[in-house]
Amino acid sequence: MTSAIWAQPLRVYSEFAQIDATGKVIAPAEPREILSPAIARNAFSSFQVVVDVPRGTPYQLYVAQNPENAVEVTLYRENGDKLERVEQPVSGDGTQVFWMDLWTARDAPVQRIKVEPQLHVNNDWVIYPMEARVVSATAGEVGKGIGGTEPPFQVMKGFLCRPEPVIDYGAVRNPPNVSSMRVRNAVQDLTLAKDAPRAELQTLFGSCSSPAPSDLEWYLRIRDYLLRLR
């Protein structure tokens, strides 16, 4: 097997990276490196997997785990904002962006786990060495059907800046799309935010009159803070 951190045929990005049909990140200019992400319990954690191979090059994509079944993995093929669920192993013959959803159970042990996208191409293996950190932060019950269309920044702003904090959002679209998945994940964050020191969270978020940042990955600083809470 061949293992490479930044092997060109296989890359992993955050759920917020904007990736075009050619597999190129168009925003932000310097996307976050995804190697050892923290993931909450009783929650979804989402990432984007880019398979970047010349058209006509057949491949198969798997997601391996150690320990086995440490999380529940669901893969979707991205088509713009649309998501099409696919089963492993996923076969293809050209560049494709996938949405990788990880569901971590409430009773999952706090530990490091390997969740490694693996690409079989040109009779060889390319492995993306991702080691997720299951943390003690445990999301509240929001259900698996939460969704909406607002950017996560606006979801958190509604919680911090409205007289009556908003946590309830409409159902995720069926089939789901990227926008509703991001909202679903942000609503999970709200269940952690309700127990966070309000002043600290407000300081980190900034003024309620501030416009939404142009860099969608800015929101990850909020999630990082929430995942460190005990």
CATH superfamily of 2-136: Immunoglobulins (2.60.40.10)
What secondary structure, in 3-state letters, does the chain show? CEECCCCCCEEEEECCCEECCCCCEEECCCCCCCCCCEEEECEEEEEEEEECCCCCCCEEEEEEEECCCCCEEEEEEEECCEEEEECCCEEECCCEEEEEEEEECCCCCCEEEEEEEEEEECCEEEECCCEEEEEEEECCCCCCCECCCCCHHHHHHHHHHCCCCCCCCCECCCCCEHHHHHHHHHHHHHHHHCCCCHHHHHHHHCCCCCCCCCCHHHHHHHHHHHHHCC
The model's pLDDT over 184-229, given as tens digits with 9 standing for 90+, comes to 899 999 999 988 999 999 999 999 998 989 898 999 999 999 999 8
Q: What is the pLDDT of residue 172?
A: 55
The model's pLDDT over 79-109, given as tens digits with 9 standing for 90+, comes to 999 999 999 999 999 999 999 999 999 999 9
Q: What is the pLDDT of residue 1?
A: 43
The share of the chain scoring above pLDDT 90, in percent, equals: 76
